[in-house]
Chain A
Amino acid sequence: MSDEEYILRVEDIHKKYGNSEVLKGVSFNVKKGETLVFIGPSGTGKSTLLRCINQLTVPEQGNVYLRDEEVTNSGAGINYFRQKIGMVFQNFCLFDHLSAVRNVEIALIKVRGMKPEEAREKALYELRQVGMEEWAEHYPAELSGGQAQRVSIARALAMDPDVILFDEPTSALDPELTREVLEVMKKLAQAGMTMLVVTHEMGFACNVANRILFMENGKIVEEGSPTDLLENNESSRTRQFVGGLVMGED
């Protein structure tokens, strides 16, 4: 396959914290419109990997390319790439002093230099996409976890990203609220958004992911479609792990 078909290429990422090597050479490519789900035991570097992609964590070694432009070593240019690579956090990280709609529009105004009226219109549009338009004037402290996470998805969407990284977006939520966030994410995937998702939600992985990447000890140990890894292959490491999850051994 030629490089042009990939929207995001990740090559040989290494990351150390002190003496412990969290990522030991991770590589993968993502096609436009694909949804990749990363699963694996906690502490295997999945979240670190996502942060290395938008350089919130700087890897010691390895490269990331977005549409054939290098994201790593881009200096001040990183702020351009971060607009194109959205991120959704486990703890939402909404700006606590801003209402929902201001959360979505602030980067449009301050980073993109959009006119306030224009930014407001776009912010409301994105809130509508995640079903939060009615809550536009509410502050983060007034929202449920699920609502807050939907706003934070809208905030990422507003920058018209090529890719969105989801770092355990539902881990902090009750099952009830998890569902409303997963619904939004599923809709996004179906609409053709390219998504990289770290999650323990196996239902989402099976139904929505084009590929599952199973990570263990800082490496991708298995990779394939949900059908390949979970149904056709009785002895896959992924399947053992998922079995453990169901049994509550994680």
Chain B
Amino acid sequence: MDFISILIDWAPYLLTGVFITLGLTAAGLGIGIIMGLPMAIGQVYSTGNWWLDKIIKSFIAVFVWFFRGLPILVLLFLFYFGIFPAIGMGSLAPFFVGAIVLGLRGAAYQSQIFRGAIQSINEGQMTAARSLGMTKLSAIKNIILPQSFRIALPGWSNEYPNILTDSAVCYAIGVAELLTRSSQIVSQTYEASIYFVCAGIFIILNYAGMKGLLALENRIAVPGFSGSGEDNQVFL
């Protein structure tokens, strides 16, 4: 069987893999932002209670150190074979384990992006908001976060290609994503150049996603806010 007909035969199978890969990536970005943003706020602002602050800040610091310091492969093994079975969730499908690990790891990385952005905002912004009678929470929500989002977006956009390419390591725990499916096709058809097709799909997903994020950046751009720039274009 020649390469083209193999490709046509297996196209639906590969395409399903694309959706699973995108699902993993979305989980990594989504859990990352949902957890990473509160973590960043927790690292920068204090509650006023010394002990509570100490506990929150140390917990976040350890979390970040752990998830950033370990290879993704080790994290996947640890959670899939170790932690989840130990807490009685051994039957959790590999996809969800992969999604959760990518998400927790994403949160560790993204919290630091948001933290940097929040800290880069001039103190006067908070003072001015408080001087108008806003509560601390309202000032964070209405003034600090909208600004941090714009500042963080270029760095945050770079998380997309990182998570997308890292999601392929979920192969190691048997998630049926793009790379896993490609390798299954290879082992059934002995056509190893399928891997080039797989690479092409990853590169297209990467490029299309970054274009989308760049468009988003320009959409919410505010004059005088450095956000977009050449450096944010992945490939250029």
**Contact call B124/A93, Cβ cutoff below 8 A:** yes
Chain B neighbourhood of A156, CB < 8 A = 132
Q: Please, what's the 1-or-0 string for A83-109, where 1 marks a CB less than 8 Å from any CB in chain B?
A: 100110101011111000000001100
Task: Kindly state the separation between the CA atoms of A86 and B128 in the bound complex, as whole angstroms.
Answer: 10
Task: Kindly state the separation between the CA atoms of A96 and B129 in the bound complex, as whole angstroms.
Answer: 12
**Contact call B132/A97, Cβ cutoff below 8 A:** no
A139 and B223 contact, Cβ closer than 8 Å, known pairs A83-B133, A159-B132, A159-B133: yes
Chain A, Cβ-Cβ closest to B148: A97
**Contact call B147/A96, Cβ cutoff below 8 A:** yes
Interface residues of A in 221-246 (CB under 8 A from B): none
**Contact call B143/A95, Cβ cutoff below 8 A:** yes
Spot the interface stretch: B30-38, B83-91, B134-142, B156-164: B134-142
Chain A neighbourhood of B200, CB < 8 A = none
A141 and B133 contact, Cβ closer than 8 Å, known pairs A89-B127, A97-B147, A97-B150: no
Task: Kindly state the separation between the CA atoms of A175 and B128 in the bound complex, as whole angstroms.
Answer: 25
Closest-CB distance, B168 to chain A (whole angstroms): 37
Closest-CB distance, A26 to chain B (whole angstroms): 20
**Contact call B224/A96, Cβ cutoff below 8 A:** yes
**Contact call A83/B132, Cβ cutoff below 8 A:** yes
Chain A neighbourhood of B147, CB < 8 A = 95-97
Chain B, Cβ-Cβ closest to A155: B132
Chain A neighbourhood of B223, CB < 8 A = 138-139, 141-142
Closest-CB distance, A140 to chain B (whole angstroms): 7
Task: Kindly state the separation between the CA atoms of A91 and B142 in the bound complex, as whole angstroms.
Answer: 20
| B131: contacting residue among A54, A80, A91, A139, CB under 8 A | A54
Task: Kindly state the separation between the CA atoms of A235 and B2 in the bound complex, as whole angstroms.
Answer: 104
Chain A neighbourhood of B138, CB < 8 A = 110-111
- Report whether over half of chain B's contact residues are helix, strand or loop; otherwise say mixed: helix
Closest-CB distance, A172 to chain B (whole angstroms): 11
Chain B residues within 8 Å of chain A by Cβ, number: 22
**Contact call B124/A91, Cβ cutoff below 8 A:** yes
A111 and B132 contact, Cβ closer than 8 Å, known pairs A140-B224, A142-B224: yes
Q: Does B146 contact A (CB under 8 A)?
A: yes
Interface residues of B in 158-209 (CB under 8 A from A): none
Chain B neighbourhood of A144, CB < 8 A = none
Q: Does A61 contact B (CB under 8 A)?
A: no
Chain A neighbourhood of B50, CB < 8 A = none
Closest-CB distance, A159 to chain B (whole angstroms): 6
**Contact call A79/B135, Cβ cutoff below 8 A:** yes
Closest-CB distance, A185 to chain B (whole angstroms): 17
Q: Does A56 contact B (CB under 8 A)?
A: yes
Q: Does B211 contact A (CB under 8 A)?
A: no
**Contact call A110/B128, Cβ cutoff below 8 A:** no
Closest-CB distance, A223 to chain B (whole angstroms): 26
**Which residue numbers of B lie inside 8 Å of A, CB to CB?**
122, 124-125, 127-135, 138, 142-143, 146-147, 150, 222-225
Can you show 28 pairs from A to B with CB atoms below 8 A apart? A56-B127, A56-B131, A79-B133, A79-B135, A81-B133, A83-B133, A86-B131, A89-B127, A89-B128, A91-B122, A93-B122, A93-B125, A93-B128, A95-B128, A95-B143, A95-B147, A96-B125, A97-B225, A106-B143, A107-B129, A107-B132, A107-B133, A107-B134, A111-B132, A139-B222, A140-B224, A141-B222, A159-B133
**Which residue numbers of A lie inside 8 Å of B, CB to CB?**
54, 56, 76, 79-83, 86-87, 89, 91, 93-97, 106-107, 110-111, 138-142, 152, 155-156, 159
Q: Which 9 A-B pairs have the closest CB atoms?
A: A141-B224, A93-B128, A93-B124, A107-B132, A83-B133, A82-B133, A87-B131, A79-B133, A139-B223
